[in-house]
Amino acid sequence: MEKQQDFRKKWLHIRLTDSEHDTISKNFRKTTCRKLSDYARHVLLGKPVIATYRDKSLDDLMAEAILLRKELNNIGNNFNQAVKRLHTIDKSDDALKLIRSWEQGKTLVENKVAEIKDYIEKIASQWLQ
């Protein structure tokens, strides 16, 4: 048996002020509705509207993680360049300079890893409260 489709044949026209339209548009953009007509139908018929929201703590975590990732990438690039130079050096004085540079880079990496660990622990303690 074929299911009968329910076509929308009726029109509803309303007039809005600019501020009313702006308010409705702003509220519509916060929802998961794809079309303004879907949003209006849900509101007018009293159906639930699914709204999206932003988690500030997650936004803060992502911003910090992006900065830490960039710093770790820079440190990794510097480390790779130092290793490449080490492979091309024949003189022991230059090798000693690169080893000292590598030790400084190692300290930077250890500090950044500790910073990441502290930040993750801070976020975890906030979420567990």
Domain boundaries, position 24? 14-53
Answer yes or no: do 93 and 106 share one domain.
Answer: yes
Which pLDDT score, from 0 to 100, does residue 129 have? Answer: 58
Q: Structure pTM?
A: 0.41
Answer yes or no: do 119 and 62 share one domain.
Answer: yes
Helices 36-44 and 18-29: crossing angle in degrees, nearest 10, is: 100
Answer yes or no: do 78 and 114 share one domain.
Answer: yes
Which pLDDT score, from 0 to 100, does residue 101 have? Answer: 77
Question: How many angstroms separate the first and last alpha carbons of the chain?
Answer: 56
Beta strands in the chain (DSSP E): none
Answer yes or no: do 24 and 77 share one domain.
Answer: no
CB count within 10 Å of CB 31 equals: 15
Contact 14, 36 (CB under 8 A): no
36-82 confidence digits (pLDDT tens): 999 999 999 999 888 766 566 766 777 777 787 788 778 778 777 87
- Mean local confidence (pLDDT), 97-126: 78
- Mean local confidence (pLDDT), 117-126: 75
